[in-house]
């Protein structure tokens, strides 16, 4: 299985499924968490007992930093704004809906301009 999720979430996705990995990112992304396969434990409350057992069988009962992926934080808001723009939302409406600056949405809308390989200084010709 080819993972689309970063870091440890990709490993979790492989053994416990995409939904378990995404739920863990939604609940604990950007924080550290000590994994435990104990039924009813913190991990099990997030992903379920079966998924928690599979995760701890693979990764053990260590403390891990959970990536935010695209489900929390600024990256998630940018992803949501891009999806709204693709659906036809105006720049302002997309920005207000997801809580980012209108300029952020404008940057998402415009194609990236390729950078010159070598910066040119004023007054210096090739």
Asked whether residue 24 is domain-assigned, the answer is yes
Residues 11 and 54 in one domain: yes
Residues 18 and 45 in one domain: yes
Residues 17 and 59 in one domain: yes
What pTM did the predictor assign? Answer: 0.66
Asked whether residue 98 is domain-assigned, the answer is yes
Q: What is the pLDDT of residues 26-43, one digit of tens each?
A: 999 999 999 988 899 999
Cα–Cα distance for residue pair 49/105, rounded to 1 Å = 40
Q: The domain containing residue 104 runs over which residues? A: 73-108
Asked whether residue 125 is domain-assigned, the answer is no
Asked whether residue 123 is domain-assigned, the answer is no
Q: What is the pLDDT of residues 64-112, one digit of tens each?
A: 999 988 788 888 888 899 999 999 999 999 999 989 899 989 988 776 5
> Hey, what long-range contacts does 17-21 have (CB within 8 A, 24 or more apart)?
17/51, 20/47, 20/48, 20/51, 20/55
Residues 19 and 58 in one domain: yes
pLDDT at residue 120, as a whole number: 53
Above 50 in pLDDT, residue 4? yes
Residues 59 and 77 in one domain: no
Asked whether residue 33 is domain-assigned, the answer is yes
5 falls in which pLDDT band (50, 70, 90)? confident
Residue 41 CB-density burial (10 A; 0-12 exposed, 13-18 middle, 19+ buried): middle
Asked whether residue 126 is domain-assigned, the answer is no
Q: Is 65 helix (H, G, I), strand (E, B) or coil?
A: strand
pLDDT at residue 115, as a whole number: 41
Residues 33 and 57 in one domain: yes
What is the domain count for the chain? 2
């Amino acid at each position: 299985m080819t993972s689309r999720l970063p870091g440890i979430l990709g490993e979790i996705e492989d053994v416990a499924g995409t939904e378990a990995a995404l739920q863990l990112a939604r609940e604990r992304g950007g924080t550290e968490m000590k994994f435990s396969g104990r039924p009813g434990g913190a991990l099990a409350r997030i992903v379920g007992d079966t998924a928690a057992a599979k995760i701890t069988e693979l990764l053990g009962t260590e403390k891990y930093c959970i990536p935010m992926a695209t489900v929390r934080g600024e990256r998630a808001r940018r992803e949501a704004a891009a999806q709204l723009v693709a659906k036809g939302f105006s720049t302002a409406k997309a920005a207000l809906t997801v809580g980012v600056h209108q300029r952020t949405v404008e940057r998402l809308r415009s194609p990236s301009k390729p950078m010159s390989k070598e910066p040119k200084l004023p007054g210096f010709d090739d």
